[in-house]
Amino acid sequence: DSGVTQTPKHLITATGQRVTLRCSPRSGDLSVYWYQQSLDQGLQFLIQYYNGEERAKGNILERFSAQQFPDLHSELNLSSLELGDSALYFCASSVGGQGFNVLTFGAGSRLTVL
């Protein structure tokens, strides 16, 4: 157990739907990162939050949004889902907000869009 908790572990939904993925960072970590892993694109950085504020943005689609709450948990919202959104979504956390921090990853949420 890495200390980073992601729910749900598996999610199957239909095209056009909206889902929310949840992440609780490791105790003491202030920064949360979201990554998407698919076979063809590899591990893509989506977005980072540090202590409630957006810190860095990567290849996140406009249909996707995220936020970090005062208790530091984060949610990634995916809407108007397409087949190509099927992937493993990882949350990671770190103590600091800089890119050189070591990341602790959760076990991931596997999203299947049918």
Nearer to another protein, 79 or 110 (CB): 110
- Rule CB under 8 A: say whether 104 interacts with another protein: yes
In whole angstroms, give the CA distance from residue 11 to residue 4: 18
Q: Which stretch binds another protein (CB under 8 A): 18-26, 41-49, 61-69, 74-82?
A: 41-49
Q: Nearest-5° angle of CA 41, CA 47, CA 49?
A: 155
- Options 19, 29, 36, 48; binder of another protein; rule CB under 8 A: 48
Identify any residues that bridge with 57 across adjacent strands, giving them in sequence order. Answer: 47
Between 65 and 105, CB nearer to another protein: 105
The interface with another protein within residues 51-80 (CB under 8 A) comprises 55-56, 58-59
Instruction: Record the tokens describing residue 97, joined without a space.
Output: 């907000």
C-alpha to C-alpha distance for 27 and 65, rounded to whole angstroms? 24
